[in-house]
Amino acid sequence: MDTGTAYGLRLGAPLNDLAQVGPGTPYGEVLRSYWQPVAKVEDATTRPLRLRVLGEDLILFRTRKGKAGLLHPRCVHRGASLYYGGVEDDGIRCCYHGWVFDTEGQCLEQPCEPDLGLHRDRVRQPWYPVQEQYGLIWAYLGDPAKKPLLPRYDTLEDLAPDEHLIVNDAGVGGGGPALLDFNWLQHWENVMDPFHVPILHARFSGFQFTPEMALLPEVTYEYTDRGVRSIQLRDLGDGRTLRRVTEVMFPNIRVVPSPKLSSGQTNMLGWVVPVDDVNFKIFTLARDTDPEFLDKLRSTHEGRPWRELDEADHQRMPGDYEAQKSQGDISLHSEDHLTTTDQGVAMVRRMMAKQIKLVAQGGTPPGVAFDEADRLVHIEGGNYFEGDALTEELAAAVDD
């Protein structure tokens, strides 16, 4: 008799507690404990822009005096969308009956009411706080009583005169379209999956990065106080070892140093920001003397960018997008068979479950800072080239 056929197959279920992002969902609440990048600074203009972040629809605009605002779209009067609003000096005027709201949702004017609205202070358009930093607009969608400081990152500080701060919201790290149309976690946990690199990015798609990255690494994973890191050792065969450190930092940061192996501390950081449960964006910040640095990093397939490939090309040279999107709009995690090389992924999922519990109990998750002294984050990820490991071990032994 045949065994293991697909007859009667049960499809399984996603790890919804980890994957879902909407208001009130377990990990949605963890994500809402942190500031999230939601747009580039130049996207906030006097023309209202629709944004969808963590499953919430919002309107981003910039007053004529230059202040960015992020409001719930449905006007508190009778529900017309502020997408059609007109931006003025201090706020946005609803197109229907002209109520004006400032960037904190306060109603400044109700033009059809006596005295422009004697009771206008009794209504408030729901709003979220925003800040501008590193060329991005950051929003805090969480409990106002727990609003932390907006962190800074040492790898993005103190630029040399010839260096540029590069801002990208088009999914550099993912390959594929700018708006990625599947669950964000498939992408984020992939950061702790270094073993897909020599297979997917070398054997399948030709050397997508550098020949060194095609070497099967020796990997150890560690919990850090803000996430999980992988330490990947590759023997380069010339007496040197490449020590590549990648990290996930809570709640959705990717620390993936250049796969083209620039040496030292990584010069870029990425945020995997869920639009909703089945779409996400990647915001990447980098520093480099070449303002095109991130564009040049984009993976190509036989020299062609992803968008120029046809269906047969996608099958013959699949990349991150094809692998991760094909796991499903939301992967059915219950059917995964995790093995020893999936240890990093398992650790990320375990730490996520822990943060869910912590946040539900009112605790402070890792990397959330309320003190100015804790605001600057030190980034450890990078590519480090080291001399022959044996030589260094001998040297250490002599020192002892």
Q: Residue numbers of the site for ligand FES (CB under 6 A)?
A: 75, 77-80, 94, 96-99
CA distance to 13, 230, 253, 340, 379, per residue, from 343 (Å): 21, 10, 19, 6, 22
Give bridge partners of residue 248 from the DSSP assignment. Answer: 228, 254
- Rounded to a whole number of angstroms, the minimum distance from the CB of residue 101 to ligand FES is 9
Q: Which does 320 bind (CB under 5 to 8 A by kind): Fe ion, ligand FES, none?
A: Fe ion
Residue 80 binding result from ligand FES, Fe ion, none, given CB thresholds of 5 to 8 Å by partner type:
ligand FES
> Closer to ligand FES at the Cβ: 81 or 279?
81
Whole-angstrom distance, CA of residue 362 vs CA of residue 92: 35
Residue 12 binding target from ligand FES, Fe ion, none, CB below 5 to 8 Å by type? none
Omega of the bond prior to 257 within 30 degrees of 0, cis?
no
Cβ within 8 Å of residue 277, ≥6 positions away: 19, 20, 21, 22, 55, 183, 330
Taking alpha carbons only, the member of 168, 159, 183, 370 closest to residue 278 is: 183
Nearer to ligand FES, 121 or 218 (CB): 121
Q: In whole angstroms, how close is the CB of 147 to ligand FES at the nearest point?
A: 28
* From the list ligand FES, Fe ion, none, partner contacted by residue 84 (C-beta under 5 to 8 A by kind): none
Comparison of 78 and 296: residue with beta carbon closer to ligand FES: 78
Q: Is 320 in the site for Fe ion (CB under 5 A)?
A: yes
CB of 88 to ligand FES, least distance (A): 14
| Residue 98 or 129 having the CB closest to ligand FES | 98
CB of 40 to Fe ion, least distance (A): 24
Q: How far is the CB of 201 from Fe ion (least distance, A)?
A: 6
Residue given tokens 């020893």 in the structure block? 340
Which residues lie closer than 8 Å to 386 by C-beta, 6 or more apart? 240, 241, 242, 243, 392
User: For Fe ion, which is the closer residue by CB, 277 or 320?
Assistant: 320
322 makes contact with Fe ion (CB under 5 A): no
Q: Which does 94 bind (CB under 5 to 8 A by kind): ligand FES, Fe ion, none?
A: ligand FES
DSSP state of 204: I
DSSP secondary structure code for residue 255 in this structure: E
Q: What is the DSSP string of 16-53?
A: HHHH--STT-HHHHHHTTSEEEEEEGGG-SSS-EEEEE
Q: Which residue has the tokens 């994957």?
A: 19
Is position 193 an interface residue for Fe ion (rule: CB under 5 A)?
Answer: no
Shortest Cβ 214–Fe ion spacing (Å): 13
97 binds, among Fe ion, ligand FES, none (CB under 5 to 8 A by kind): ligand FES
Q: Which residues bind Fe ion (CB under 5 A)?
A: 320
